Chains A and B, each alone.
Chain A
C-alpha cells in the first residue's frame, strides 16, 4: 500500500514537473490601441479651400486568452472624437472568440473584419502611407469593413488562407459615387437570410513580400433591390531593403441596377532615406498614383461612367521615430475625367499604435 502511494506521488510529481517545463503560457488580458490626429485642407475645383482638425480615430483593443488555443479579441472605436446629432461614430469594430488549433487551422466567430484588400485587417496608421487611408480603401474596398461573421484560417507552406462567412450588404444603399461603401451594415441588425462568402489566399514565403488576392460573392438585398455583387481584388506589398512598394487592384460587378461595375487601383513607392545616414528614425518619402472609378460601368453609360472617374497623384513623407509612431504629411491632386476638374489636398497628422 505504501509502495502504491509512493508510485502515485511519483507519477503526479513527474507529470507536474514535466508540465511546468516549457510551459510558457499564462491566461492573460491584453490592452492595445491606435489613434490618429489629422489636419485636412481641401480645395475642390474652383471653390474656396477649407481646412479642419480631426482626431479621426481613437481605438482601444482588449483581448483575453483563456488558453493557448482559446482567446477573445475586441476593438472599440470612437471616430471624430465626439458623438452627437449624427456626427462622429462609436463602433464595435471587432469582438470575436478565436480558436487557434494549429498553424493549419483556426476559426473565429463574432464581429470580424473580412479579409479583403491589404488594409482592412491591418489598418493602424504606422502601416500605410498617407495621412488618410488610400482613397482606394475608401471607395473601392471600403475600410474598415466590419460586421457579424465567422472565418476559418490557416497557413500551409507560406500560403495564408482565410474563408469567411460574413453578413450581407444592403443593396438599396449602393451608389454611383461610393460603390458598395454605404451598403455596409456594420453588425447592426443585419438581414440574416443571406451571407457574403469570401476566400482569400496570400503567399508570404518570399522575404519582405506579401502577394495574393481575394474573391467574394454576395446576393445583396435591401427593401427594394436585390443585386448579386462579386468583389475580386489582387494585392502585393514589399517591405525590405529600405524599400516599401504597394499595389492593389479591385473590381466589383453588380448584376442589376444602374451600377454595373466599380473599379480602381493604386500603387505606392517609398524609400527610407534615413538609412543612407544610418539614422534609426525612418524617413520615408513616397509617391502614390491612384485611378478610381466607382461607376466604371453603368446601364446608361455616357457621362455617368466619367463623373466618378478620377486619377490622383500624391507625394508625401512618413517619419517614424520608431515602428509604433508615425508623423505624416502629404499633398495630392485629383483630376476628374469628365471635365478635368482639379481638387487639391494637403494633409498632415500623427498616428500611433501599441
Chain B
C-alpha cells in the first residue's frame, strides 16, 4: 500500500499543469547550462529590507515571500536566481532573474505573461539588455532600458521588478 501511495503521489505531481515549474527549469538551464543542480527556498523578506527596497524603486513587492534558487555545478555554487511577480495593467507577470556570485544579472526571463496587451516584454532581445546590470545600474526606461511601444505599463513594471531583485539579491547573498 505504501508503494501504491508513493506511486499515486508521483502521478498526481506529473498530472498537474507544471508550466511555470517547467519554464523555470528551462530558463535556469538556458542560462547556466544543462549540468546544473539547484535548491529552491521560499524566503520571507525582512520587513525593513522590504520597505527600503520598495522606497528606493517605487514599487511594492508582490508578496512577502520570494522564490530563491541556489545554482550548483559539480557541487559548487555558481549563481543565484529569483522568481517573482509584478502587476501589469491588471494581471501578475511572473519573471525570473539569474545572477552571478557578485549579484550581476546574467539572464532575465518572463516565465508567464497573462495580459492581452504588452506581451512583447517576453522577447529574448528585450530581456537580454539587463545582462551585466546590478544594484548600481540606472534602470531608466528610454535610457538604459529600451521601451516597447504598446507595452509601456509592462515594460515599466518589469524593469522596476528587476531592479528590486538586484537590490534584494545583495541582502540574500549575505
Contact = CB atoms under 8 A, between A and B. Distances in A.
Interface of A: 3, 6-7, 10-11, 14-15, 18-19, 21-22, 24-25, 28, 30, 32, 63, 65, 68, 71, 73, 98, 100, 103, 106, 108, 118, 121-122, 124, 126-127, 153, 155, 158, 160, 202, 204-208, 210, 237, 239-242, 244, 272, 275, 280, 282, 322-323
Contact of A160 (B94, B120, B126): B120
B115 A207 contact: no
A10 B5 contact: yes
Given A6-B5, A10-B9, 16 more contacts: A10-B5, A10-B8, A14-B12, A18-B12, A19-B16, A22-B20, A22-B21, A25-B91, A73-B90, A158-B123, A207-B126, A207-B129, A240-B142, A242-B143, A272-B142, A323-B141
Contacts of B91: 25, 28, 65, 68, 71
Interface in B17-46: 20-21, 24
Nearest to B87: A30
Interface string B101-144: 00000000000111111011011111001000000000011110
Interface stretch (B71-79, B146-154, B164-172): B146-154
15 contacts: A3-B1, A10-B5, A22-B20, A22-B21, A24-B92, A25-B91, A100-B114, A155-B119, A160-B119, A205-B124, A207-B125, A208-B147, A280-B140, A323-B141, A323-B152
Contact of B13 (A7, A18, A126): A18
Nearest to B126: A207
Contacts of B62: 24
B16 to A, nearest CB: 5
A241 B148 CA distance: 12
A103 B122 CA distance: 10
Nearest to B113: A103
Nearest to A208: B146
In the A-B complex, the 4 residue pairs with the smallest Cβ-Cβ separation, listed nearest first, are: A240-B146, A208-B146, A30-B90, A239-B147
Nearest to A124: B152
Contacts of A18: 12-13, 16
Contacts, number: 123
B4 interface: yes
Contact of B9 (A14, A28, A122, A206): A14
Given A14-B12, A25-B91, A153 B116 contact: yes
A283 to B, nearest CB: 12
Contacts of A122: 149-150, 152
Nearest to A278: B138
A239 B156 contact: no
A122 B91 CA distance: 18
Contacts of B119: 103, 155, 160
Interface residues of B, number: 44
A9 B89 CA distance: 39
Contacts of B123: 158, 204-205
Contact of A7 (B4, B90, B129): B4
Contacts of B147: 208, 239-240
Contacts of B143: 241-242, 272, 275
A298 B18 CA distance: 60
A14 B13 contact: yes
Contact of B8 (A7, A241, A244): A7
Contacts of B152: 122, 124, 126-127, 323
B146 A15 contact: no
Nearest to B23: A22
Nearest to A160: B120
Contact of A239 (B24, B114, B146): B146
Contact of A25 (B9, B13, B92, B142): B92
A14 B125 CA distance: 38
A63 B90 contact: yes
B149 A237 contact: yes
B146 to A, nearest CB: 3
Contacts of A25: 91-92, 114
B81 to A, nearest CB: 14
B18 to A, nearest CB: 8
A179 to B, nearest CB: 24
B134 to A, nearest CB: 18
Contacts of B13: 14, 18
